[in-house]
Amino acid sequence: MEFSTSQPVQLGREFADEAAGVLRVAFDDRLPSLAGLHTPEEDSWFFRNRVFQDCSVWGVFERDVLVGMIAFRPEWIDQLYVLPAHQGRGIGASLLNVARTGAAQLSLWTFQCNRGARRFYEKHGFIAVEETDGSRNEEKEPDVLYRWVAE
């Protein structure tokens, strides 16, 4: 069965390795100074035992390859990544719309230096509400809290 990029589908835990792979490729592309922070095995463990346990996880496939994913829970987006070669084609927006469905508000953290992510979220109605020095995150990288409120 070939999936279409226009229709996000809910993912089961059997997609943990693929979802972790999307995170790692996109993360390392946008934040090369933090590349290699975790091994692929650590990423897969995290997705299997944390992300898929705590979140609703959706993905977009192109020719049976997972090219984008979002993990969210009530009021929070925990993960949103699209493979670099597939960015700018509406995949992130379609995944974001899944999380927005029925939500009164959503919040998320991203790094201050991730200009692409910041532009994306601001384009889609998220407002920066707090910036930190990074002392509270694992990467010790200054970050920014964004919030979106439904109209």
Q: What is the pLDDT of residues 114-127, one digit of tens each?
A: 999 999 999 999 99
CATH number of 9-149: 3.40.630.30
Cβ burial of 48 (10 Å; 0-12, 13-18, 19+) is: middle
Q: Does the structure show a pLDDT above 70 at 66?
A: yes
pTM of the entire predicted model: 0.93
Is the model's pLDDT at 5 over the cut of 60? no
Does the pLDDT value for residue 149 go beyond 50?
yes
Task: Give residue 50's pLDDT.
Answer: 97
Q: How far apart are CA 131 and CA 36, in angstroms?
A: 25
Determine phi and psi for 57, rounding to 5 degrees: -120, 125
Burial class of residue 71, CB neighbours in 10 A (0-12, 13-18, 19+):
buried
- What pLDDT, in 10s, does the model give residues 94-110? 999 999 999 999 999 99
Question: Which token pair is 94?
Answer: 């379609």
* Per-residue pLDDT reduced to its tens digit, 70-91: 999 999 999 999 999 999 999 9
Q: Supply the pLDDT for residue 6.
A: 62
